[in-house]
Amino acid sequence: MNVNHVNIRNIITKTKIPNADYTVNPYIGCTHGCVYCCAEYMARFSGHKGEKWCSFLDVKENYTFPSDKFQDKTILISSATDPYNHFEKQFEKTRAILLQLTDSSAHIEILTKSPMVLRDIDVLKRIKDIVVGFSLSSSDEIARLTEPFAPPPSERIEAMRVLHSAGIVVSALISPIIPFFSDYQPIVKAVGKYAAYVGFENLNLRGGFRAEVLALIKEHFPRMFLRFASIYNSRRAFYKYWHTRELEIHEFMRTMGNLPYKMYFFHGDEKKV
Supply the DSSP string of 52-79, one letter for each residue: PTTSEEEEEESPBPP----TT-EEEE-S
Task: Categorise residue 47: left if φ over 0, alpha if ψ from -120 to 50, beta otherwise.
Answer: left
Q: Kindly state whether residue 186 falls inside one of the protein's structural domains.
A: yes
> At residue 101, what is the residue type?
L
Structural domains counted in the chain: 1
What pLDDT is attached to residue 99?
96
For residues 135 and 150, give the distance between their C-alpha atoms in angstroms, rounded to a whole number.
Answer: 11
What pLDDT is attached to residue 41?
66
Below-50 pLDDT ranges, the chain = 268, 270-273
What pLDDT is attached to residue 158?
98
Count of beta carbons in the 10 Å neighbourhood of residue 9: 7
Q: Which residues contact 95 (CB under 8 A, 6 or more apart)?
A: 88, 119, 120, 123
Element (H, E) at 75: strand 74-77
For residue 83, count CB atoms less than 10 angstroms from its CB and return exposed for 0-12, middle for 13-18, buried for 19 or more.
buried
Q: Name the pTM for this structure.
A: 0.93
Q: Kindly state whether residue 133 falls inside one of the protein's structural domains.
A: yes
What pLDDT is attached to residue 271?
44
Q: How far from 45 is each of 17, 22, 53, CA to CA, in Å?
A: 18, 19, 12
Q: Kindly state whether residue 210 falls inside one of the protein's structural domains.
A: yes
CATH assignment at residue 58: 3.80.30.30
Q: Kindly state whether residue 273 falls inside one of the protein's structural domains.
A: no
Name the residue range of residue 96's domain.
2-268
> At residue 49, what is the residue type?
K
Q: Kindly state whether residue 167 falls inside one of the protein's structural domains.
A: yes
Using CA of residue 176, residue 180, residue 186, residue 192, what is the dihedral sign?
positive
What pLDDT is attached to residue 269?
52
What letter does residue 152 receive in the DSSP assignment? P
Q: C-alpha angle with apex 19: 174 to 148, nearest 5 degrees?
A: 30
Q: How many residues does the chain have?
A: 273
